[in-house]
């Protein structure tokens, strides 16, 4: 079983990960509209990753013989002025998710649930990678992508991203 407060926090995190999937789906739609297929591909991989993050938590709550309670998923933003503005939003969002994971771990520690703390360690490492990936894209956009030629070339690069299912344990 999970402590009641911890169970609620896990359910909140499941919602946050599904919201992430939804937000990135909205961003993929934006890239489809402006025909940046490489950026759309990057988002499609991200969508699958977020789904895996949510399902990892979903399965863990069940593994602990606790209750998954799905919540409403908020409407994401649907329009951006530029690719740069969009990736600034992605970076802020991933920092927010990192803070949510840290809060979840604080609750697991507070209720002395060592197993949950160990399980959540995977998410801590994943967030370091998530923030780093997005930060690198943001740096490229800020430093060198001042024109459409650069954006076009960068789009080709992001087309090569491939999804690999994570092993969450």
Q: How far is the CB of 16 from ligand FEO (least distance, A)?
A: 8
User: For residue 168, with 0-12 CB atoms within 10 Å meaning exposed, 13-18 middle and 19 or more buried, which class applies?
Assistant: middle
Q: Which two tokens stand for residue 161?
A: 């991203």
2 vs 14, which CB is nearer to ligand FEO? 14
Q: How far apart are CA 21 and CA 110, in angstroms?
A: 29
Q: How far is the CB of 1 from ligand FEO (least distance, A)?
A: 25
128 vs 153, which CB is nearer to ligand FEO? 128
Q: How far apart are CA 4 and CA 44, in angstroms?
A: 34
Residue of this chain nearest to ligand FEO (CB atom)? 53
Q: How far is the CB of 31 from ligand FEO (least distance, A)?
A: 17
124 vs 150, which CB is nearer to ligand FEO? 124
Q: How far apart are CA 96 and CA 66, in angstroms?
A: 26
Burial call 46-66: b when 16+ CB within 10 Å, e when fewer:
bbbbbbbbbebbbebbeebeb
User: How open is the CA angle 47-142-101, to the nearest 5 degrees?
Assistant: 40
117 vs 124, which CB is nearer to ligand FEO? 124
7 vs 94, which CB is nearer to ligand FEO? 94
The residues binding ligand FEO (CB under 6 A) are: 17, 20, 50, 53, 94, 97, 130
Q: How far is the CB of 161 from ligand FEO (least distance, A)?
A: 14
Q: How far is the CB of 39 from ligand FEO (least distance, A)?
A: 16
CA distances 25 to 41, 42, 45, 112, 115, Å, are 11, 11, 10, 36, 32
């Amino acid at each position: 079983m999970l402590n009641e407060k911890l169970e609620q926090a896990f359910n909140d995190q499941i919602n946050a990960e599904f919201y992430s999937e939804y937000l990135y789906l909205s961003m993929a739609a934006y890239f489809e509209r402006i025909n940046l297929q490489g950026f759309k591909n990057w988002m499609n991989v991200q969508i699958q990753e977020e789904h895996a993050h949510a399902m990892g938590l979903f399965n863990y709550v069940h593994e602990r013989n606790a209750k998954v309670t799905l919540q409403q998923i908020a409407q994401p933003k649907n329009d951006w002025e530029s690719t740069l503005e969009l990736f600034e939003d992605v970076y802020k969002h991933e920092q927010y998710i990192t803070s949510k994971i840290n809060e979840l771990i604080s609750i697991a520690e507070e209720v002395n649930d060592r197993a949950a703390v160990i399980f959540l360690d995977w998410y801590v490492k994943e967030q370091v990678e998530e923030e780093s990936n997005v930060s690198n894209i943001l740096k490229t956009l800020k430093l060198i992508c001042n024109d459409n030629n650069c954006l076009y070339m960068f789009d080709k690069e992001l087309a090569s991203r491939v999804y690999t299912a994570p092993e969450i344990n």
